[in-house]
Amino acid sequence: MGIRLTLEDVERAAETVSRQLRPTPLRPSLAAGDLDLRLKLECWQPTGSFKVRGATHLLSTLSQAERRRGVVAASAGNHALGVAFAAARLGDVKATLFVPTTAPRAKLDKLRRFAVEVRETGETYDDAVEAARAFERAHGAVFVHAFEDARTAAGQGTLAFEILAECEAPAAVLVHMHPPGGFDRTNWPADFIGSLVDSGVRSSVRKKPGSTSIVRMPNGATSGVSDSIQPSTPNFDAA
């Protein structure tokens, strides 16, 4: 499934996300020598990851009827933390989160500090997704996708506006890519590249004047990412 975003989608998401999350700093790298290399410190997010942006945006756009149905998500850790944080901030959303039994204990410990229901199931991210989808069908909860949803993608892309606020015309934006869920998925579809930061960063930065390049930095241990780069989505509608 492809995702189509417009600049206006990300701009609206930025307005929504800014009401719940503070901007993270863009700091010079001390390891870059003479290069002007700056690091976007998404590790300073309240959950330690940029994924809280997408979850916060998606939950914030739910209608009152959808909020009463509750939400369900699958994650190996970071997305679940984002959903838990967003549900806590909004205060009127019940969240049920499915995580694989192999998820890092540290993340599960943090997750259980929130008023959410955590269900450990299966060994892989796919197992958690299957269980979450079954819960969605059985209970009518809103499924909060970690990446393959335009609302999530627009939320992730809000960090691009923060980058541009401090560095108006970067020569390049380097985006670290890895398979969703934190697992090695050597054959996952190219659509998955449309997840994470890249989806919104490409939409936001490329619309600005200048010739900013988007450089994808796949995890060296994950060949499936580099194999899927060329036909990637989502699409950015410049119209």
pLDDT of 58 strictly over 50: yes
> How high is the pLDDT of residue 141?
98
pLDDT tens, residue by residue, 121-169:
999 999 999 999 999 999 999 999 998 898 998 898 888 888 878 887 7
Please state which of the ranges 4-13, 24-33, 35-44 shows the lowest mean pLDDT.
4-13
Q: What is the mean pLDDT of residues 18-42?
A: 93
What's the rounded Cα separation, in Å, for the pair 79 and 131? 16
What's the rounded Cα separation, in Å, for the pair 13 and 200? 10
Please state which of the ranges 129-133, 159-163, 174-178, 219-223 shows the lowest mean pLDDT.
219-223
Pair 173, 204: CB distance under 8 Å: no
Q: Is the dihedral of CA 141, 195, 158, 13 positive or negative?
A: negative
Pair 227, 185: CB distance under 8 Å: no
What's the rounded Cα separation, in Å, for the pair 98 and 120? 6
CA separation (Å) from 17 to 133, 163, 215, 230?
26, 15, 25, 30
pLDDT of 200 strictly over 70: no
Please state which of the ranges 69-78, 162-171, 220-229 shows the lowest mean pLDDT.
220-229
pLDDT of 31 strictly over 50: yes
Pair 56, 17: CB distance under 8 Å: yes
- Give per-residue burial for 20-34: e unless 16+ CB within 10 Å, then b: bbebbebeeeeeeee
The single residue listed with the structure tokens 């995702």 is 3
Percent of the chain clearing pLDDT 90 (strictly above): 55
∠ CA 87-90-94, rounded to 5°? 40
Using DSSP's 3-state secondary structure scheme, residue 55 falls into: helix
> How high is the pLDDT of residue 180?
52
Full-model pTM: 0.81
Whole-number average pLDDT of the chain: 81
